[in-house]
Amino acid sequence: MTTETLFLTLVAETSIHAGASESEGVVDLPVQREKHNDWPFVAGSGMKGAMRAKAQTIEGLDIKTLFGPDPKDNNGSDYAGSLQVTDARLLLLPVRSLTGHYRWICCPALLKRLERDLHRAGRNNVVFNDEVGEGEALPGKLPGKTTLYLEEYAFSVKDRIAESGLALLKSVLPEDHHDELENKLAVISDDYFRHLCRAAIPVNAHIAIDSDTKTVRKGKLWYEESLAPDTIMYTMIVVQKSRNGKMSAAEGKTAVTEQLFATPYLQVGGNETTGMGWFKVNQVQEDA
């Protein structure tokens, strides 16, 4: 094959801050969002940069072939690397809930996009066809209650998500998350999901203290958004035959799976020195 495709699920182990270039309202450092739907994402350039940074710590990995020459060496335009890395797209957003510990929410538009992305990656034919009305929620399991609370909103529960929709999500999640998914999942309407992608993202205040006066240094109070731990996203890597002739697509795929992700962790975004940005990476297997 001339190309190979890897579909990776990313489970946030810590808070994630992949910042946008512009501030919004009172938030000085918002996370990246898709302009047309307000869903958080991490740009493919940031994902590829994080992977390259990890690759530089792995002895014996052919970084130039996979990622291309380093532009700092003044030969970055000699040839492109063999990896194409897509944006990390949102899959499940954790939000506070009075009906349980917390809930993983998503919406029909997001699930239909997941379905299309899986097809593009040559994976399963599971489809999502449920409809969700305004103010309604489809849980993974019927909670024995007619009302589900998400943040300050109450949603009516009339049924659970269809098995096909549950199977679609399970097909990309690690097996140790399957039971948790059924207990925590809530599919809500596209409009409410868009709103909670704004209202339910944590915003933290950061300050720098003057060591002499023990007060906030001038101009050193800012507000920063971050995706909460347990946020789940996904990304794809298309591996091509290398342009320098050193590696086939299959060999490139093996290098990614057996060397780059021999340990399943990837640091993405800012605030690395304060422990933020860690995803656990899970490779979604191809259909048998």
| pLDDT by 10s per residue, the chain, length 288 | 689 999 999 999 999 999 887 777 788 899 999 999 999 999 999 999 999 999 999 999 999 999 998 877 766 677 889 999 999 999 999 999 998 889 999 999 999 999 999 999 988 667 778 889 999 999 998 778 899 999 999 999 989 999 999 999 999 999 999 999 999 999 999 999 999 999 999 999 988 888 888 888 888 888 999 999 999 999 999 999 988 888 999 999 999 999 999 999 999 999 889 999 999 999 998 765
Contact 230, 245 (CB under 8 A): no
Contact 13, 229 (CB under 8 A): yes
> From residue 228, how far is each of 12, 16, 17, 35, 109 by CA, in Å?
7, 7, 9, 20, 22
pTM for the predicted model, two decimal places: 0.93
Alpha helices in 202-283 (DSSP H): 249-255
Report the amino acid identity of residue 247. Answer: M
